[in-house]
Amino acid sequence: MYSSTRFSLTPRLRRLFALLAVLAIVAASCSDDSSSDDVEPLPDDEVTTTTTTIPGTTQPIPDEGVALVDLQISSVAFGDTGSVTIVNNGDEDVDLNGIFLCQWPNYLDLGGIVDGGVLAAGASTDVAAQRWGGLDRASGEAALYTGQAFADAEAILAYVQWGEGGHQRASTAAEAGIWPSADDFVTPDPEFPNIESGGDPADPGNWS
C-alpha cells in the first residue's frame, strides 16, 4: 500500500527564503548597471578655470563736433532794386551772426541784416542790392564767408560770378572747390532780370 509524507515549511523558513529571493534580485540589478555615466567630481585642487576675454567693440565718444553750415546763394537779381537770395538747405536753423555776404569791396554781416539773425531750416532770405549800391548786370560776384578771412579758402561757403572782370574772390572759391576757376563765369540772359541756380551752384552751367 503506497503512502506519502507531506513536506511542510515553517513560517520562519518561508520568511527566510523570501528574504534571500529579494537579495538575489537586488544583486542582479546592480551587476547589470555597468554602463552608468556617473563621474566622480575632481577634488577642488585639480579643477582648472579658463577665462576668455572678448575684445570690446565700442569706441570712445569724441568731443562734440561743430555742425557744418549749409548755406547757398540761389539767385541774384540785378539793378538798384535787385537782391541776393540765400537759402538754408540744412536740417537745422543757422545763426547768421558772423556769416558775411561779400561783393568786393563791400561786406555785410548777415546777422545784423536778417530779422532775428537766424535763417530757419529750408528757408531763404533776400539781401537788398541797395546795401551795395546796386548789382551790375555787366559784371559782379557774390560770396558767402564764415568770418572775415576773405582770402582763406576754408572760410568761403558759396560763390557765383557773372560777366567778365571785377572778380576778386574767384580764385579763393576755386581753391575751395566751390567754383571751377577764375576764368569761369555766368553770362546773364538780357531777357531776364536775374540769374538762378538750377542745380549744383558750384557749376556755372547750372546758372541761367
* pLDDT tens-place string over residues 6-17: 445 555 656 665
Looking at residue 197, the DSSP 8-state letter turns out to be B
Reference 171, options 186, 188, 153; nearest CA is 153
* pLDDT confidence of residue 38: 54
The whole-angstrom separation of Cα 135 and Cα 133 is 7
Q: Any residues with CB less than 8 A from the CB of 164 and at least 6 apart, and which?
A: 139, 185
Q: What CA–CA distances, in Å, run from 68 to 1, 34, 94, 136? A: 132, 78, 10, 31
The DSSP H or E segment spanning 20 is helix 11-32
The whole-angstrom separation of Cα 174 and Cα 177 is 5
82 or 2, which is more confident?
A: 82
* pLDDT confidence of residue 144: 96
20 or 2, which is more confident?
A: 20
Assess whether pLDDT exceeds 80 at residue 65: no
Assess whether pLDDT exceeds 70 at residue 151: yes
The whole-angstrom separation of Cα 46 and Cα 122 is 72
The amino acid that residue 93 corresponds to is D
pLDDT in tens, 170-195: 999 999 999 999 999 999 999 999 99
Q: What CA–CA distances, in Å, run from 59 to 22, 54, 56, 62? A: 72, 15, 8, 9
Is cis: bond before 11, omega within 30 of 0?
no
Reference 84, options 191, 176, 206, 195; nearest CA is 195
The whole-angstrom separation of Cα 169 and Cα 153 is 10
Average pLDDT over residues 130-137: 85
Assess whether pLDDT exceeds 70 at residue 30: no
Range with the largest mean pLDDT of 10-19, 41-50, 112-121: 112-121
